[in-house]
Structure 1
Amino acid sequence: MAATGRRTTLALTYALSAAERGLPVFPLSPSKLPALPSPHRDDPAPVRCRGECGRPGHGVHDATTDPAAVRALFALAPWATGYGIACGRPPHHLIGVDLDTDPAVLRRLGREHGFPVPGTVTVLTPSGGRHLWLAGPPGVVVPNSAGRLAPGIDIRGFGGYLAGPGSVTARGAYRLAPGTPALPPAACPPALLRLLVPPPRPPARARGGRPGPRGEGLVGFVLAAREGRRNARLFWAACRAYESGIGDALADALTEAAVRTGLTAHEARATVASAARFTAPRGAGAPRAR
């Protein structure tokens, strides 16, 4: 028990250091899963809450850079021995390249598609793999995928997370590769980004001309966003709209609602466009850390 307590204290220290660098964090259990149980575990399915209820226990959606909030999360999870870093969130819009294969595979892919593999933060995993940290551009949502880029290469994007360096799991510890701790996450090469982002969704015809109650509910969901959740709420609502076939009809209303909550028109339009790309048919992987 004492060993677990020391590991929790160490994990909190590492997590606070990451939060100072602008990386949203939350506690992980030794199994690499979110340490806090869902507050909705006894609710009837389906549960679509992503933290809007205000209670902790929503996994990656709990991630924060606020030191007081980080401490509060770890205080609720004294069994945590690691921390997760949420990908796709500002300011870094982190993209995690999870290599379970020889790094030469990624370099060969770079030669084929015309992008270099930049020097960047690299985390060595207990399984012998590595995580490369890349910074994505604002307004572009990179989805999670498993093996879509190449066998043995998984991508952690928006809604996914990486186990942070210093985390201890049942299989061992995550540690920074020599020579990389001082590096910032390198910008994702544009040619690689094009491989990671799904192609634009073909324009969908609006059904009827008015979005109806479903669309009005999504607009209201965006209008209720608190500071720090505005972009995430807009993206979620736009995804649901495009999945329902009313995305194009509702895009302007969602954008206007987001602007009323404090986003700029440019940010709002970019997020809605990203949702359209994100919901296009693709092979997506689970957002679990590895």
Structure 2
Amino acid sequence: MTVVDEGAEVVTAADKVPFPEEDVGLATGPSGLVVVDLDSVKAKDPKGTPDGVTSLQALCERAGQAVPATYRTRTASGGHHLYFTAPDGVRLGNSAGRLGKHIDTRAHGGYVVAAGSTLSEWLHRPLTPRQAARGLTVAPVPVRASRYATAALRAETAAVAGAGEGVRNWTLVWAARALGRFIPSGDLARHEVEQALNSAGLRAGLRENECRAAVASALNWSIANNSGRPA
């Protein structure tokens, strides 16, 4: 992916062409990131609807803050991704429109096509759940499900294969739960998820019977908790 430095903004080849299939999917939660997705105005939006950039500017004005200066990329649809380091001690999930019109966020349970300054407290406060929410680990990815599913499969299997001793089992279970939500929607087939994760677990040094048992149990949990939901 070509990257051109234009001061504070990073412009990628995605400005001119759609993301190719070989692009890397970045799992934002395990990467310790919160990505703020500023969408462009859609054709179906009513006249006068602000885009994500305008909504963020208004949000900053209301908070008496400057627009955060951080790593930024343009997306294939004409929007922007702003990358922030996730705040310590707070587990954020995905959101859609909570910060403003055409502003989404990706954290635990989210992916972006491949980060940044620390996410300010005034900005992450509206995203912080008031009480623990079990659904954060299986938050749906709302756009281009099949593309995100493919990116998620690559990202999660890579994370499992690279996991070290002491975190391998946990990483495998987490990956299976994250990927399992794509099975009820038909974006991924169970057998391909099992095969990919079992192979990744073996590369990480786990025994075959450990992999199969952990993956099967985690997928069953994820499917049971995501049946009827779009991935």
TM-score, normalised by the number of residues in structure 2: 0.45
